[in-house]
Amino acid sequence: MIIWLASYPKNGNTWLRSLIGAYYYTKDGIFLGDNHLKNVQQFPVKKYLESFDYDLAIPGDTSRFWVLAQEKINEERTIKFFKTHNALVKLGNNDFTNRANSLGGIYIVRDPRNVITSIMNHFEMKKEEALNFMPPTMKQTNWRTIIQQLLDSVSIIEVSQDVSIQGQFMELLESFCTERAQAQSRDEILLGKPWTEEGKTYFRLKDLIDYCKTELGE
């Protein structure tokens, strides 16, 4: 399944690819430039479409094979990250992706002023040239239509109890009460140890809070 890193050009996609490359594809977290960036490829590009019969003379003709190319990628049955500057929309009658191929997406947004300075530096442009490089503002009616289409396709996924805040707290509470050194007498509660008597466990709230902060790395 694919996790998309989606952004407008010069919005920090490569920066995020670098972090993911260091975090997921190294043992020590040390980023080694292109050696790790290659683990997060871009889509669509020629290498993923060259086995399909499309017409280069027709702009956007590769869109007919976007989903098929993703199905081929997912034959490996592993989670893959892909950079893209595409959007979750149709080109003609062709979807960019679908639920069967996509696990999720990370939408990268950057302050437009920084995008302009990044474009200036990358392409050696003047400020006015970089500003004109940006796309024109979308009409409000078109924007609202796209947003509504996205909202209409939203599905609510209930969070597992184990990963909810309450679930995590209950796990920490159980660990605090059962996996730590137990008090041998009620007086040892003052030493930060839980004391269990007749099926009930007693402890100081301060000790539980300190334990939770330690376990959560705070």
The dihedrals phi and psi of 2, each to the nearest 5 degrees, come to: -105, 135
124: left (phi over 0), alpha (psi -120 to 50) or beta: left
- Residues forming beta bridges with residue 202, ordered by sequence position: 195
- pLDDT of res. 113: 84
Picking from 78, 73, 70, the residue whose alpha carbon sits closest to that of residue 25 is 78
- pTM assigned to the model: 0.58
One-letter amino acid identity for 218? E
- Per-run averaged pLDDT (10 residues), the chain, 218 residues: 90 87 83 78 90 86 92 91 89 90 90 86 85 76 80 72 74 86 88 88 90 81
Helix (H, G, I), strand (E, B) or coil at 6: strand
One-letter amino acid identity for 140? Q
For 8, the token pair is 């407008």
- pLDDT of res. 218: 64
For 213, the token pair is 């902060």
Q: What is the CA radius of gyration of the chain?
A: 26
Contacts of 212 (CB under 8 A, 6+ apart): 169, 172, 176
CA 150 to centroid of chain Cα atoms: 18
Give the dihedral sign, CA 180/185/188/192: positive
Neighbours of 174 (CB within 10 A): 11
| Distance in angstroms (rounded) separating the CA atoms of residues 205 and 216 | 17
Q: Among all chains, which residue has been given the structure tokens 């392409």?
A: 123
Give the dihedral sign, CA 118/124/128/133: negative
The residue count of the chain comes to 218
User: In which element (H, E) is residue 143 found?
Assistant: helix 140-152
Cis? peptide before 44, omega within 30° of 0? yes
| Distance in angstroms (rounded) separating the CA atoms of residues 122 and 118 | 6
